[in-house]
Each structure stands twice: as structure tokens, then as C-alpha cells.
Amino acid sequence: MDVQYIFFDLGSTLVDETKAYEHRINDMIGGTDITFEQFREKRRFFAQQNMRGDMEAMKYFGLPYKPWHSEDEVLYPDTVEVLGYLHRKGYSMGVIANQPAGTVGRLEQRGLMGFFDSVAASAELGISKPDSRIFLKALEMAGGDAKHSVMIGDRLDNDIYPAMELGMKTIWIRQGFSVFQHLAQGRPHPDYIIESLSELRNIL
């Protein structure tokens, strides 16, 4: 794979958000007769339509938006090992993520910032995925070009398809609720589909 620049999404890619999602869901359904399993099933239904399942389920049930609990996030067990492996191989690495303000600080707290040369986060840039401008800004920040870059993320709609349209290579990591998304007919497939970060060692 002819790649010099590697870009990662964060949520459900490098960071396991399972507990944070569960916390927010329980906050949203608190005081209602909606069960966690009912919400989960509706979230799965919308994810299968390649939509953001939690937000669509919230709208479906008419629930109020509740804050995200970033304290519930944890790194996947292989995150640090795989980033270290790629860093030692000499790749330039960056982040392209829809995140609240303070992404660099959170990466520093988790001991990850040393792996990254650039961070393109939606709150700081005022642009959110899937808008192509955040990808273009990330390439500009990294001094890279789409042809020699790869985007690694869990969501087809936010990470993979927008990167493809710019000519970037793509690796779809099926973690979190993205396991329920499916490849759209008539659209190119990602260059690789993986189930864990560890599989990157066989690709890059």
C-alpha cells in the first residue's frame, strides 16, 4: 500500500466509546417508559441505514439531547501498540475527527499526542465530517496529498466515503456500532476492511 500519511478517526476507532454511549442513552431514557433495549434496537435499525444511529433514535423517540461523558471513554487494548508500530515505521500520522473542543488536550492525557503530527478536529476548525473541507484541511496541515494518504475510521458515511471522493485510500474498521453499517451498492469499496487495529500491522 503506497502510503506516507495515515489519518485516524478517534471515536470507535482508537477510543472505545461503548460505556459513554450507554451512559448517555440511560440519561436520555431516564424517567420515560423506553427501555434500553428498545433504544438499542432502534439505534441498530438506523445504523443499518448507514445513518448515525444514536442521534436518529433520539429523534425517533423525541428524547432530549444529553451531554457526552468523555470520562467513560477508554482506549482499545491495541491502540498504543499499533500507533507505536506505525510511528516506528516512519509514517506521518494525524487525526480527523468530529470532537468537542480540547481534542489535543485529551490526546495528551491519554499519552497519544506524541504519535501525531496534526490534529484536525471539528470544534476547533468549525467544520465537521463528512464535509470534504475538514479532510482537505487535514491534508494541508500535514503537508500531505490525498494520493499518498489513507483514512482509517469506523463510519462509512463520515470517514470512508468522503475520503474516497478525494482520492484517499481507505481502511474501514468495523468497531462499535459500525458493524451494522453496510457497503452501499454502486459505490467503490474501501481498500481494506478490518475488525481491529492490530490488523493494520498486516497492511501498513
Question: One digit per residue, pLDDT tens: the chain, 204 residues?
Answer: 889 999 999 999 999 999 999 999 999 999 999 999 999 999 999 988 888 888 999 999 999 999 999 899 999 999 999 999 999 999 999 999 999 999 999 999 999 999 999 999 999 999 999 999 999 999 999 999 999 999 999 999 999 999 999 999 999 999 988 888 888 788 889 999 999 999 999 999
Can you state the angle between helices 36-48 and 18-29, rounded to 10 degrees? 120
Same domain, 187 and 146: yes
CA distance 121 to 101: 8
Same domain, 196 and 131: yes
C-alpha distances in angstroms, 16 versus 13, 20, 26, 147?
A: 7, 9, 18, 29
CA distance 177 to 61: 19
CA distance 184 to 97: 22
Same domain, 32 and 111: no
C-alpha distances in angstroms, 140 versus 85, 99, 119, 156, 199?
A: 24, 19, 11, 23, 28
Same domain, 28 and 97: no
Same domain, 47 and 113: no
Same domain, 170 and 197: yes
Residue written as grid cell 475520503:
163
Q: What is the CATH number of the domain that holds 99?
A: 3.40.50.1000
Same domain, 55 and 140: no
Its sign, for the CA torsion 27, 36, 47, 196, is positive
CA distance 45 to 53: 7
Containing structural domain, residue 127: 5-16+73-202
CB neighbour burial string for 132-148, b if at least 16 within 10 angstroms, e if fewer: eebbebbbeebebebee
Same domain, 85 and 167: yes
pLDDT value, residue 95: 98
Q: Which three cell numbers stand for residue 180?
A: 451494522
Which residues does 132 contact at the CB level (< 8 Å), separation at least 6? 162, 165, 166
Same domain, 78 and 153: yes
Which residue type, as a one-letter code, is found at position 70?
S
Same domain, 77 and 65: no
Q: Is 30 helix (H, G, I), strand (E, B) or coil?
A: coil
Same domain, 115 and 47: no
The model's pTM: 0.93
pLDDT value, residue 142: 95
Same domain, 108 and 181: yes
- Number of structural domains (the chain) is 2
Q: Cβ distance 133 to 141 under 8 Å? A: no
pLDDT value, residue 51: 84
